[in-house]
Amino acid sequence: MKNKMLLGERYRLEIHWEKVIYEQDGIAKLERCYLSGPAIKEVVEMEQKDTIDLDFFNQYMLFVKSYYIARLAWEGIRRISDKIYLNNVILTNQKVEAVPKLNDDDYIVVDTKDHEDEKHQYNLTYPSFLVKSTGELYNFER
């Protein structure tokens, strides 16, 4: 497959949603959002209200000069089997003029490799990729 991500399956975390709503530029509300993938097995505990910074630079480097970080914030979680459901989810970014708006059937793949307990404090962001519903990476070189 062209556009293949280079990350071990063990560390793959996916962020899915059923609906994305843009109430203002740079802020996407993700309704019925959940986390899934093999990395869920490694998640021991999560805060009910928290944020993580998703680093999309590897995918967006054609558009941005230094970095491209989006912040995923939530208020409320519940774990059901192999998924973690997030409530009141907001994705914010400052580079909205250079990137496409999310679609309801897109999802984000996060590499959690450097976020095990002994490494997490040294890694402030999570390498991430925007993926189409077909499983293909968005290709911004076209």
Percentage of the chain beyond pLDDT 70 is 71
Task: Write the burial class of residue 71 (CB in 10 Å: 0-12 exposed, 13-18 middle, 19+ buried).
Answer: middle
pLDDT band at 1 (very low <50, low <70, confident <90, very high): very low
pLDDT band at 128 (very low <50, low <70, confident <90, very high): confident
Sign of torsion over alpha carbons 27, 57, 120, 86: positive
Binning the chain into helix, strand and coil, the percentages to the nearest 5 are 15, 40, 45
User: How many residues make up the chain in this entry?
Assistant: 142
pLDDT band at 2 (very low <50, low <70, confident <90, very high): very low
- Convert the pLDDT of each residue in 62-110 to its tens digit: 555 555 678 899 999 999 989 999 999 999 876 655 556 789 999 999 9
Domain boundaries, the chain: 10-115+122-131
**Which pLDDT score, from 0 to 100, does residue 17 have?**
97
Token pair for 131: 């993926």
3-state secondary structure of 131: strand
If you average pLDDT over each of 30-39, 49-58, 95-104, 117-126, which comes out highest?
30-39
CA angle centred on 98, ends 94 and 100, rounded to 5°? 100
Residue 31 pLDDT > 60: yes
Residue 60 pLDDT > 70: no
How far is the C-alpha of 96 from the C-alpha of 83, rounded, in Å? 29
More confident residue, 131 or 139: 131
Q: How far, CA to CA in Å, does 39 sit from each of 34, 82, 106, 114, 133?
A: 13, 10, 19, 12, 20
